[in-house]
Structure 1
């Protein structure tokens, strides 16, 4: 873990600063703007938690915005004292931003829209447990961030079909990694993923309780996931033998497949799937209790499977 007042040159050459807990204050941020200037400028800033009495506020972020125009990556985790004003200052002053990671923040669509409008190089976004971010922000990202390659959205109750549809349809030729977890989305959203996910090679779907068998079936049969290589599904009730066969037909280049807590899958689904995906190299099954050893081994005779694990 990176400690405050240390620097680390990462593989991409970013000069990094990390503030955690009691060390996360506006004064520390102001000192960072001074201390990194002679080193070529700050490239990555991580703020985790905040001092309960003198924590990071919009004032501190404004200092970064003015003093660190070279900032490329920003992570804000559990910083309740920061609002839209601070992040908007950052994206206006640091328009080279490429990566944005927001977790447990009270930032709204207003900030995400400003980010999309000011940071054309943005290629990676992670949003987790941000109750004020919804469809409007994602629509702006899809429209303006033409270099977007990776999106991860978890536990954001305002995110729905419109946001996912707009994002995927706009970024259909650049978006390579998609993670959707614990969202209030339905079958239509997965149909959009299946139709517009032309560039997706890594897809993670977790805890999508409102997506039925029909949603996964349509996603597979839409034939848009031709480049998908890595697919992970966890705790999704709509995953059945029928949908597994559809995924196999719609993802001919799949190499790694992982199912966790998918209780409706059985040996029949694995046998049908194995007949459609000859490129599979790795299979991982966790708590899929209807699949026996026979189902796990069925892909061996029809695929290039190198590893199969069932837990």
Structure 2
């Protein structure tokens, strides 16, 4: 499994943390992980394992996972500096400014960030941190942040 690089398990409600733990340990060259819409099956335990064992990770989609928080994003930020694509939409407040700022500070190649529908957990502070630390940013989705992201931070993206 050393050559395995891409896992797309979106909407696969049978995917659980135990599966991600085994994949992370056995497939250290994983670069693309999409476990979106797995709802409660994937949590910080599985995502942290990916962060700990897969330093080549470039793409992570954990939209609608409900159990993913800043804890696993900090593990990703610390160990996966090549990350380019991150989608944490609809994580129900589990991902906050703290997690996004950690990613921004340690993953300068970030190009795509989706923090939509995060229920005010992501604010101007996170967007400013990303705009300052990630010069390659090409895509930013802040829809559904319920007014917590304003023109103040979006202006910083242009500077």
TM over 0.5: yes
Shift of 1:68: 0.9
1:102 aligns with 2:50: no
1:168 aligns with 2:131: yes
Q: Report what 1:65 is aligned to.
A: 24
Cα distance between partner residues in 1 of 2:147 and 2:137: 19
Asked if structure 1 preserves the Cα contact closer than 8 Å seen for 2:34 and 2:62, the reply is yes
1:194 aligns with 2:155: yes
Cα distance between partner residues in 2 of 1:152 and 1:178: 6
Shift of 1:98: 0.3
Asked if structure 1 preserves the Cα contact closer than 8 Å seen for 2:128 and 2:156, the reply is no
Cα distance between partner residues in 2 of 1:91 and 1:144: 13
Asked if structure 2 preserves the Cα contact closer than 8 Å seen for 1:159 and 1:183, the reply is yes
1:21-170 to structure 2, matched below 5 A, reads 37=1, 41-51=3-13, 55-79=14-38, 80-105=40-65, 106-131=67-92, 132-157=94-119, 158-170=121-133
Structure 2 residue runs of 5 or longer lacking an equivalent are none
Cα distance between partner residues in 1 of 2:146 and 2:97: 12
Shift of 1:44: 1.0
What secondary structure does 2:9 align onto?
strand
Cα distance between partner residues in 1 of 2:60 and 2:137: 15
**Cα 1:114/1:185, change in 2 over 3 Å:** farther
Asked if structure 1 preserves the Cα contact closer than 8 Å seen for 2:122 and 2:148, the reply is no
Cα distance between partner residues in 1 of 2:36 and 2:138: 24
1:89-146: CA deviation from partner (whole Å, max 9, x where unpaired): 1111111000111111120011111111110100111122101111110110111101
Larger proportion of strand: 1
Larger gyration radius, structure 1 or structure 2: 1
Shift of 1:76: 1.0
Higher relative contact order (CA 8 A, sep 6+): 2
Moved >3 Å (runs of 4+): none
1:243-254 to structure 2, matched below 5 A, reads none
Cα distance between partner residues in 1 of 2:17 and 2:87: 20
Shift of 1:186: 4.6
Question: So what's the TM-score if we normalise by structure 1?
Answer: 0.47
How many residues end up aligned between the 2 structures? 155
**What is the Cα-based RMSD across aligned positions, in Å?**
1.7
